[in-house]
Structure 1
Amino acid sequence: MENRPASEQFFKIACYFEGSLALVALALGWLANVYPFENLYFSEDGLAGGLLATLPLVLLFFAMQQLSYPPIQKIRDLLLETLGAGLAFRHWTDILVLAGIAGFAEEALFRGFLQPWLENHWGALVGLLLSNVLFALVHAVTPLYTLLAMLMGLYMGVMLDYGGERNLLVPMVIHAVYDFVAFVVILRDYRIRLNRSF
């Protein structure tokens, strides 16, 4: 049987770690004179654009869930062993909180600070590519997962300028909603696997 206190600790650490990335973005932004939240606007268009832009990623996620390709299966197994076990006793509202923190803080760092800072020095294309090489490297769980993180990061970097107006809300919504769906599916699959083992 899984350990409830360990699950509680995992959840708290995950929330604190993800949340600290927003502080890192602010600190780096202060040093580099780039305010990470300069292009964050709460608007119906930004929210709707983010939700709409999440749909292809969610469909791709569910399609990949059906594949038996070994590198994809390896990713699924690793996520079940880490996130599934770590979130085993969490309510869906906890999952929503964690996904929201991750979407907000990671996007503040990578699309709010890093991408604009690199763009200011080397132009839009280099800024987009380099910021997402770093995004992929911090998500380097397996080679395929790293590649998928790179592609997802590039997508969110492009969607930063959705509708011709830069709005950090769009990639934040994409990231948070995608993570929420993925976490819920991982948790469901972990619980099914756990029940079968008894």
Structure 2
Amino acid sequence: MANLISHRNIAPLAFLFEAALGLLAIGLGTWCDIDPLENVTIGPETLWRQVVAVGWGLLATLPMLVGLVLLRQIQEGPLGELNQLVDKQLAPLFVETRIWELALIALAAGWGEELLFRGWLQTLATRNIAGNAGLWIGVLLGATVFGLCHWISSTYAILALLAGIYLGILFIASGNILTSVTTHALYDFVALVWITQSPVAPAPPEDTSNPLEETPD
């Protein structure tokens, strides 16, 4: 049986799945009276506020990109194994995906995942738990579920958890989901382009020779 997901259909499937998460967040928000897009309004009086939120999101991508650069240099240990896993299993799926398709996937991921994990789930906790405890429980709850949903390996899940904490703090600090959406989308786009265009060098093979074995004359 042919694989349901391949490099031939990954772009539309990924886009539709990620975009659907945003619609799910809006639906869940309607059910429990939470608007994941609260403070996102486009009009003469609010346009500049949205531009500023996007601008902060662009700047906030830089630390994550620095982390990506450093991560991709590692070839040993759990992080090295993660690089090999990404290059062998994830990157081949996108080998025929065009740049504009990667951009749409990243945009949909930023939109869908941020609305669901930050705009809805994190907000759900902060509104039902009073004080600063609610803020941090919301951040950790959203980040933990975010990490679990990215479990292709324990290392990847932990990194996703840390990214989720960072994005959750951005959401609180900015008060606008567009900031974390922008950061998430831009990071995903750069990461997708990088892993498909510049895979890390394969780890050197282990030396299995016996150093005590004498070479015949």
TM-score bracket, normalised by the shorter chain, equals 0.7 to 0.9
**Once the 2 structures are TM-superposed, how far is the Cα of residue 190 of structure 1 from its aligned partner?**
4.9
Once residues 174 and 159 of structure 1 are traced to their aligned partners in structure 2, the CA distance between those partners, rounded to angstroms, is 9
Q: 147, 150, 169: which one pairs with 1:158?
A: 169
Is residue 21–residue 113 contact of structure 2 (8 Å, CA) maintained in 1? yes
* Residue equivalent to 1:96: 103
Q: 114, 137, 145: which one pairs with 1:134?
A: 145
Aligned length: 188
* Residue equivalent to 1:148: 159
Cα deviation per residue 1:59-82 (whole Å; 9 max; x = unaligned)? 110011111232112222222233
Is residue 107–residue 172 contact of structure 1 (8 Å, CA) maintained in 2? yes
Q: Secondary structure at the match of 1:39?
A: coil
Q: Secondary structure at the match of 2:136?
A: helix
Cα deviation per residue 1:111-148 (whole Å; 9 max; x = unaligned)? 11111111111221111111111111101121121111
Answer with 1 or 2: which has the greater Rg: 2
Is residue 73–residue 200 contact of structure 2 (8 Å, CA) maintained in 1? no
Once residues 58 and 76 of structure 2 are traced to their aligned partners in structure 1, the CA distance between those partners, rounded to angstroms, is 29
The one-letter amino acid paired with 2:40 is: L
Once residues 186 and 62 of structure 1 are traced to their aligned partners in structure 2, the CA distance between those partners, rounded to angstroms, is 11
Once residues 161 and 110 of structure 2 are traced to their aligned partners in structure 1, the CA distance between those partners, rounded to angstroms, is 16
Q: Secondary structure at the match of 2:7?
A: helix
Change (3 A) 1:40 1:69: farther
Once residues 191 and 121 of structure 1 are traced to their aligned partners in structure 2, the CA distance between those partners, rounded to angstroms, is 45
* Residue equivalent to 2:182: 173
Choose between structure 1 and 2: higher helix proportion.
1
Percent identity reads 31
Root-mean-square deviation over aligned CA pairs: 2.1
Once residues 61 and 192 of structure 1 are traced to their aligned partners in structure 2, the CA distance between those partners, rounded to angstroms, is 16
TM-score (norm 2): 0.80
Unpaired runs of at least 5, structure 2: 42-46, 203-217
